[in-house]
Amino acid sequence: MAGVRTAAVAEPVGDVTALLGEGPYWVAEDDCLLWVDILRGQLHRTYFPSGETITLTLENASAAFPAVGGGILTVGGRKLKLHLPAERGEEWVTRVVAEVPARERLRFNDAGIDPAGRVWVGSMHLDETDPVAALYRLDAGSVLTRVLDDVTISNGMAWSPQGTRMYYADSPLRRLDVFDYEPATGEVSNRRPFLDLSSLKGVPDGLTVDADGCVWIAFFGGAALARITPGASVDAVLDLPVSQPTSCAFGGPGMTDLYVTTASTGLTDQELAAQPLAGRLLRLHPGPVGLPSTTTYATLPV
């Protein structure tokens, strides 16, 4: 198992400061990182090595993925939408792929793509108090199948290198859960606690899996990332120069870069002065490398 450089320095990428940065996703073919600012409804595309960021302002966005056949799939509000660039100019063509009925104080939050390209999306309660949200899978006929109920803040989801485990966090529970996963069908079963995270500062937010099968979790309010082994132990904790990291994803040449999205919302003027990188996209070189399957394109079933 690759060792972790716990003293890895987090460097800012580009010049965008988000209110609530989220959902980093590496697109290897374009040397591009997709990420969003949830509170501004913005989709960012940051290109490397320049760090140039192109921003598309949408009605809402909480996650984004490249789609098989072209375009970008976004998750936001209560809808999944496919955005296709027009042949000329800056206009994009958008169509709704799937949606769920409107429910008061609920919206989609985090999402994930399994190694076969299946789309998973979770919702959250805006007051962050009541377990009335859910986890969905996009199935044939553009149907969002409700897989899990009684969720409060549906957050990070990722798959083991073999695709037989699905990791998942409902943030207020302050633990990492795991399902048995059937790669051929996308069926989940046997949800169980994987690791109690209540001893770590902050709440578990977005996550990813590396090539060793370890889970990396951003701790919102905890100013840190934690690496969890497949045997359910904390392998390393990396301190960050911001208190509100939101998610993380590997990318770059050889999948050696670890990108971290962060938030500036809710911080006082004094806290913002002490955290000049709050809301920025950060990059670290922690040692372990990412899984190619974490850059899978979203497959939109017919």
Which residues are the active-site residues?
205
Q: For residue 160, which of 188, 137, 140 has the smallest C-alpha distance? A: 188
d(CA 199, CA 219): 12
Residue 255's Cβ-count burial label (10 Å; 0-12, 13-18, 19+) is buried
Partners of residue 153 on adjacent β-strands: 124
Structure tokens at 284: 């670290």
**What residue type is assigned to position 107 of the chain?**
R
d(CA 245, CA 162): 28
CB of 154 closer than 8 Å to CB of 170: yes
DSSP β-ladder status, 154-159 and 79-85: unpaired
Rounded to a whole number of angstroms, the distance between the first and last alpha carbons of the chain is 40
- Residue 236: CB atoms within 10 A of its CB come to 20
What proportions of the chain, in percent to the nearest 5, are helix, strand and coil?
5, 55, 40
- Per DSSP (E only), the strands in 6-142 are 11-13, 21-27, 32-37, 42-47, 53-57, 63-66, 72-76, 79-85, 92-99, 106-113, 119-125, 133-139
